Structure 1
Amino acid sequence: MIENNTYDVIIIGGSYSGLSAAMSLGRSLRHVLVIDSGLPCNRQTPHSHNFITHDGEKPAVISAKAKIQVDFYDTVQFYKGLAISANKTESGFEIKTESGKAFTSKKLLFATGIKDLLPKIDGFAACWGISILHCPYCHGYEVKKEKTAIIANGDMGFEYAKLISNWTKDLRILTNGKGTFTSEQSRILKQHKIEIIEDEIVMIEQENGNIQYVIFKDAPKIDVKAIYFKAPFEQHCPLPETLGCELTEQGLLKADAFQKTTISGVFASGDCHVQARSVTLAVSSGSFAGAMINKEIIDEEFV
């Protein structure tokens, strides 16, 4: 329940990183508002892995349990909705939501994640996070030694193949067009019996998000258990950029070792800032950001 409109910290984004920051700040006796629209990027993923004590758990179950634990701290409040504007004020920041609500705070944390930009291949989106995967550390064990493909090309495809070959030797590279490997890369891939299919992908035949076949324009269809794909992305929330926060060359929010962005009073945590994507790293960066925000407030008040 929202009891007032003024807080020490507003956190935009209430998934793993935002909730972790909220717990850190709640335990520091800070008045915190978490604004969340309820659309985490992994909402289609059936299981989360490589997170000790939660290995194999459903992502929504982890976040629901986290929210219950954070809600224990009476200085932390939640608002379900979409933040649509952020403005700097003399005392901090003002955030307005889609419903017309306005809230103010001394500090602002973006834990808003990123938006994956998926190729326009029929069936691809339905499989994303289920059988089309981004991270072998998160999901590789579950499809180890299975028929696997990588959608990639060139240097990235070569390095990705090296990585994925740790989990399976039954591996193909789908370039979705003309291959751009060097002759040396092609030689090494052939030596490791990694087939390169240079043809346009027409569709992914799937059932409930599970790949049945990959259909090509000219080449014969193939059956695989899993596909790995490194999706390009953009910031899920445009508000950091409207405030003037700079991005890195990769499109992540630029922040220093203390997770401060290039705008004073604005911090970043989780996938919108951390290059490697995993629940554990999102939780870690959120917890650290909460501590750094609390320290900044203490330093400003202890004069």
Structure 2
Amino acid sequence: MMYDCAIIGGGPAGLNAALVLGRARRRVALIDNNQPRNAVTHASHGFITRDGTTPGEFRRIAYEEVLRYPSVDHLQTEVVSVGKLASGFELLDSAGLRVQARKLILATGVKEIFPEIDGFYPLYGKSLFNCPYCDGWELRDQPLVVVSEHPSAFHIAKLVLNWSEDLVVCTNGMASLSDEQKTQLESKGVVVREQPIAAFIGQNGQLEQVRFADGIRVPRTGGFVTPQFVQSTPFGEQLGCERTEHGGIKTDPLGRTSIPGLYAAGDASYIAPSQLIYAAADGSRAAMGVNMDLTEEDFVQ
């Protein structure tokens, strides 16, 4: 069977794309390996009507809604390769199943690469996070730390001051702040520490101290660590998609990539900001692009 559209990725972008296409009576294969990036997160925020919902509950409700539409098939499997056909695309999963579709949406998201600091992962998603908009409210007025090895360190530090003025900014041994930026932060009462971090100290998911390589320990109860984002899958690169300067898959306003019939939505296309509501809206946008292009192709036959 040839699907109208296959969607790789069952996050908010892929789910909303499937919802829109299902309502447009398109035959859709929604393919998801059930390994969401936000699985460690205690709650999802910033999405109206779902603020504070756990990621698992968000996905449960979303799948319940999407699968009400009989033309949407949910395939819980892992795609291992994608090939271009004259009439569309062929996907191969880890069990050898082949799925063919006229159009393909990559809603595969990104992976986070965090600094290698001892003690980070037991605290991640509980008292250490990467997005102030997602978790800043829960950490408001606490003694916080920002760790960033990237040029975005200054921006993130300024942003976090909206939630707490008791702030230590760490570059983990990297030159990610200019002298002028350090002076500006210190004028706001921010402590800047450029020494490498040896470990995060805490228990039961709660940060207690940041220990630096020089032995100094700074008490903190939470904070934000800036990761590097990379594509979760190689499919866009393998198919020859143009990329943005930030590493996302370049798309037009309706999610079309540089490869005819191939669309991208969510974090895979714009990398940041990584927000559920952005991704869901982007999935809707790409689905409308798919449906518009299918409509035009079928109308002239």
- Tell me the TM-score normalised to structure 1 length: 0.95
1:156 Cα deviation (Å)?
A: 2.3
Q: Where do 1:1-303 residues align within 5 Å? A: 5-152=1-148, 155-177=151-173, 179=175, 181-274=177-270, 275-303=272-300
Letter of the 2:108 counterpart: T
1:221 Cα deviation (Å)?
A: 1.1
Tell me if structure 2 keeps the 8 A contact 1:124–1:203. Answer: yes
| SS of residue in 2 equivalent to 1:222 | strand
1:97 Cα deviation (Å)?
A: 0.3
| SS of residue in 1 equivalent to 2:122 | helix
| SS of residue in 2 equivalent to 1:43 | helix
- Cα–Cα, structure 1 residues 90 and 53, in superposed 2: closer, same or farther, change >3 Å? same
Q: What CA distance in whole angstroms lies between the structure 1 residues aligned with 2:256 and 2:174?
A: 42
1:84 Cα deviation (Å)?
A: 0.6
Tell me if structure 1 keeps the 8 A contact 2:256–2:262. Answer: yes
Cα-Cα RMSD: 1.4
Q: Which consecutive segments of 4 or more residues in structure 1 shift more than 4 A?
A: none
The one-character-per-residue Cα deviations of 1:192-245 (angstroms, maximum 9, x if unpaired) are 110011211111123233212211111421221222122102100111211111
- Cα–Cα, structure 1 residues 6 and 118, in superposed 2: closer, same or farther, change >3 Å? same
Tell me if structure 1 keeps the 8 A contact 2:114–2:225. Answer: no
Q: What CA distance in whole angstroms lies between the structure 1 residues aligned with 2:226 and 2:194?
A: 18
- Tell me the TM-score normalised to structure 2 length: 0.95
The one-character-per-residue Cα deviations of 1:92-132 (angstroms, maximum 9, x if unpaired) are 00000011000100000000000001121112123233322
| SS of residue in 1 equivalent to 2:142 | coil
Q: What CA distance in whole angstroms lies between the structure 1 residues aligned with 2:8 and 2:145?
A: 36
Tell me if structure 1 keeps the 8 A contact 2:254–2:288. Answer: no
1:139 Cα deviation (Å)?
A: 0.9
| SS of residue in 2 equivalent to 1:42 | helix
| SS of residue in 2 equivalent to 1:162 | helix
| SS of residue in 1 equivalent to 2:99 | strand
| SS of residue in 2 equivalent to 1:262 | coil
- Cα–Cα, structure 1 residues 262 and 225, in superposed 2: closer, same or farther, change >3 Å? same
The one-character-per-residue Cα deviations of 1:124-160 (angstroms, maximum 9, x if unpaired) are 1232333222221111111111111111257522222
1:300 Cα deviation (Å)?
A: 0.8
Tell me if structure 1 keeps the 8 A contact 2:18–2:287. Answer: yes
Letter of the 2:107 counterpart: A
1:179 Cα deviation (Å)?
A: 4.7
- Cα–Cα, structure 1 residues 278 and 180, in superposed 2: closer, same or farther, change >3 Å? closer
1:15 Cα deviation (Å)?
A: 1.4
